Structure 1
Amino acid sequence: MCLYFDITDLLKHARKNGTVSGIQRVQIRVLQHLAAQTQPQEILCAYHIGRFRRVRICRAQDLFIDKTYDAKQMLVRLGLENQNTAFTTQELYDDLANYKNKSLKRALRKVKLLILGKLRPDCARSQMGLGPLSEQNNSQLKTIETWPHKKIQKNDHVVMIGTNWNISAVETLAKKHFRRGGKVSQVIYDLIPYRYPEFCIESLAKKFSTFLDRSPSFVSQYICISEATRIDLQKYLTETGNDKPTISWPLAHEFEGYGRNEISSQSSDSPIFKKISKPFVLCVGTIEVRKNGAMLLAVWQQLQKELGDKTPQLVFAGKYGWKILPFQERLRSDPALQRRVTVVDRVKDDDLAELYKQCLFSVFPSLVEGWGLPVGEAAWFGKFSIVSSSSSIPEVCGNLVDYIEPNNIDEWVQAIKRTVLADQCRQQREKIICRSPLRLWKDVAADLKQILDN
């Protein structure tokens, strides 16, 4: 039996982003470990990029060989990115993000950079504010073996492990396989666009709801990343008259590539640390309305009144998402708050690990989650956290962290103030965290394999 994993959305994300968010991190870690635990032909990746191309297949063992994520290397290995281009697709998108979408200026900028990239690569990179091409670009990466999809055997298993909310060629393949009696599993990360459309842009909420409605036509079973997500999905399926099996599949605490309870070397020369004052409290995740960052800013305003100079720096580590006007307006309107808040965008894993190691503690005030990776990652580095009591979040670390109702500003202020001032209590909680058993990504992968085999 072969397991076919749809990685189309992972590759599309890699074309526009040099760093990963939660869902992409899950896919990469799980596929890395599945490939390491099985025979080369057992774990295969299916993807469809480009309107007229067929679904292509590759071995996960060939693709997921790097310990750290490198979007360009992954795309080059698949022949989807030219290694010798002046800039990556992601670097181009980053530059164009400074221009209004679909504007003439944006279109002209794109044409100019593409032409300049062909004729004078270094000049193009300079205009984009990028450094010279690295030595790594000069060493040749080999493309891996890929082949067009021909036929999936009846006893094979198709796994939709990403955000396959758009109808794609891989979904069509999965539907045909299901109709022939084959197994198709769909991983569900959350039902947020369906249950809380106010936290999303309208187009995403509609797209996701349409996906949920059609998914029973090609899914044998749903695999949910938390019990809270499974309960939400089960309720939806019952309401819509579907009786598909739903299974919980909890994620990991491990921040892979970094040792458990690893201590900071204090020697990071990354430019992001030049912007950060110590001590600091860390909040990891996309800055969007659902993550409740505006509430956290209000908490920091109150802390400044109560703690004065003892107020720690607040560091947000994550890219900007949607519906962030309240966050921006609160920060923009308060110069004193600006001095206490730092936002670091598109953080690479090395820097994120160092932020976890150096922070005083972490906070995670999200209104709703499907899991809550940053809560577990902070624990991996032995750090205490104050987190939201909402949805799946209590499943991540149990009694190792403190819980606050996400919109209770007064309780957040008091909890953070206590943790800042009571060093001994915080350090005692850290000792408990450091000794507690935490879940590894290899365990998550092994559990998924068992679910799929059964």
Structure 2
Amino acid sequence: MKYYFDITDLIKFAQRNGSVSGIQRVQISVLQHLASGRDKDEILCAYAINRFSGVTICRAQDLFTNEVYSAPRMLIRLGLETPYAAFSKRELNDDLAKYKKKSFRRVVRKFKLLILGRLFPAYARAQMNLSSCSHENIHEQKTIETWKLKSLENQDHIVMLGTNWNASAVEKLARQHSKRGGTVSQVIYDLIPYRYPQYCTDNVPKKFKGFLNRSRSFASQYICISEATKSDLLDYLSNFNTEVPAKAWPLAHEFEGYSRNERDSGSSHPKLLEPIQRSFVLCVGTIEVRKNGISLLKVWQRLLKELGDKTPQLVFAGKYGWKIDSFQKLLKSDAALQQAVTIIPRATDADLAALYQKCLFFVYPSLAEGWGLPVGEAAWFGKYSVVSSASSLPEVGGDLVDYVDPNNIDECTQSIKNAIINEDYRKHCEKKISQASLRSWRDVASHLHELIAGK
């Protein structure tokens, strides 16, 4: 039996982003461990560059090695990017992001950089404020073997591992395979666009509902990353006459590449901590309405009045997202708050590890989650956390964290203030966390294999 894992969305994400967010981290970690130690032709990756290009296959062992993830490296291995380019497509898009789309200045800038990149690569990178070396020193990378899929055996299993909201050639393949009696597993990360459309941009709920409706035509089983997500899915499925089973697949606490309770590792950027002038409290994740960063700003306004100079810095590690006008207006309107808040928009894994290790404690006031990787990651580093009690988060933190109502500013303030002023309490909690049994990504990959193998 062969397992085909859809990575179409992972490739598209890599073409736009250098670092990974939660769902991409899950895909990469799980495929690395699934491929390790198994026959090279058992765990395969399937992807489609566009809806009409057909399905391309590669071996997961070839694509996902034990190296730290690199978007350019993965794209080069797949033959989707040249190792000798002066800069990657992502780096070019990042540079052009400051110009309005289709504007004359953007067109001129792009043309100029493409010409400079061919004639004077080092100068082109300097113009883009990039390091003088080739991006990520990956000139030596070789492409791996890929081939067009011709047919599937009935016993083969397709796993839709990503956020395949857009119809693709892989989804078409899954539908055909299902009709012929083959097995297709669909992983569900959350139903936030269905349950909480107010947290999403305009077209996302409609697109997501379309995906959910299509999935019922090919899914043999649903694999949900938490009991909360499973409950939400079953609520959705109750509207239809379907008997497709749903199973829970809890994710890991591990921050891959770092040992449990590791305390001393350097950042990939020595200047990372320079903007942080004192001890700090950490929040990790995209700054968007659902993550509820505005509640933390309101808490910090109160703490500054109550604790004054004893208030720690509040550090957000995450890029700016959507529906955050109120967050930005509040921050801009309060000079004292601006001094107390630091935002690190492009943190690498090494950066995040350094921040987890050096923070006083971790906070996560999210209004809704499918799982909540940062809560587990903070525990992996042995750090105490104040966490929202919403949706799946109690499944992640268990009895190792303190929970708050994310909509109750008084409760959030009191819990965070107590953690700041009561060092003995923090140390007591950290001792318990450091000794707790936490899940690794190897555990999670093994569990997924059991679920798809029907064990």
Quick check: TM above 0.5? Answer: yes
**Partners of 1:102 and 1:176 in 2: CA distance:** 39
Structure 1 residues 43 and 362: CA distance shift in structure 2, 3 A: same
Instruction: Determine the structure 2 residue equivalent to 1:298.
Output: 298
Q: Does 1:53 align with 2:53?
A: yes
**Partners of 2:164 and 2:225 in 1: CA distance:** 16
Query: Deviation of residue 242 (structure 1)?
Result: 2.2
Instruction: Determine the structure 1 residue equivalent to 2:438.
Output: 438
Query: Deviation of residue 268 (structure 1)?
Result: 6.8
So what's the TM-score if we normalise by structure 1? 0.98
Instruction: Determine the structure 2 residue equivalent to 1:140.
Output: 140
Aligned partners of 1:83 and 1:137 also within 8 Å: no
Equivalent runs, 1:243-322 vs 2, <5 Å: 243-265=243-265, 270-322=270-322
Query: What SS does the corresponding residue of 1:206 show, helix, strand or coil?
Result: helix
Aligned partners of 1:225 and 1:251 also within 8 Å: yes
Tell me the percent identity. 61
Instruction: Determine the structure 2 residue equivalent to 1:398.
Output: 398
Deviates more, 1:112-121 or 1:2-11: 112-121
Query: What SS does the corresponding residue of 2:87 show, helix, strand or coil?
Result: coil
**Partners of 1:384 and 1:246 in 2: CA distance:** 33
Deviations for 1:149-204, whole angstroms, at most 9, x for unmatched residues?
11111000000000100000110111110110000000000000111111111111
Aligned partners of 1:270 and 1:351 also within 8 Å: no
So what's the TM-score if we normalise by structure 2? 0.97
**Partners of 1:138 and 1:211 in 2: CA distance:** 36
**Matched positions, count:** 454
Deviations for 1:24-81, whole angstroms, at most 9, x for unmatched residues?
0000000000001421100000011146532110000000013311111111011001
Instruction: Return 5+ residue gaps in structure 1 as ranges.
Output: none
Dislocated runs of 4+, deviation >4 Å: 265-269
Query: Deviation of residue 239 (structure 1)?
Result: 1.3
Give the counterpart letter for 2:31 in structure 1.
L
Deviates more, 1:17-26 or 1:125-134: 125-134
Q: CA RMSD, aligned part only? A: 1.4
Query: Deviation of residue 111 (structure 1)?
Result: 2.4
**Partners of 2:135 and 2:231 in 1: CA distance:** 50
Aligned partners of 1:84 and 1:137 also within 8 Å: no
Deviations for 1:338-374, whole angstroms, at most 9, x for unmatched residues?
1100000121001100100000000000000000000
Instruction: Determine the structure 2 residue equivalent to 1:95.
Output: 95
**Partners of 2:283 and 2:267 in 1: CA distance:** 22
Aligned partners of 1:378 and 1:385 also within 8 Å: yes
**Partners of 2:283 and 2:136 in 1: CA distance:** 32
Instruction: Determine the structure 2 residue equivalent to 1:81.
Output: 81
Equivalent runs, 1:44-443 vs 2, <5 Å: 44-50=44-50, 52-134=52-134, 137=137, 139-265=139-265, 270-443=270-443
Instruction: Determine the structure 1 residue equivalent to 2:39.
Output: 39
Query: Deviation of residue 96 (structure 1)?
Result: 1.5
Give the counterpart letter for 1:87 in structure 2.
F
Give the counterpart letter for 1:153 in structure 2.
E
Query: What SS does the corresponding residue of 2:205 show, helix, strand or coil?
Result: helix
Deviates more, 1:133-142 or 1:214-223: 133-142
Query: Deviation of residue 139 (structure 1)?
Result: 4.1
Query: Deviation of residue 119 (structure 1)?
Result: 2.2
**Partners of 1:357 and 1:257 in 2: CA distance:** 14
Deviates more, 1:256-265 or 1:364-373: 256-265
Query: Deviation of residue 266 (structure 1)?
Result: 6.4
Structure 1 residues 251 and 267: CA distance shift in structure 2, 3 A: closer
Deviates more, 1:340-349 or 1:51-60: 51-60
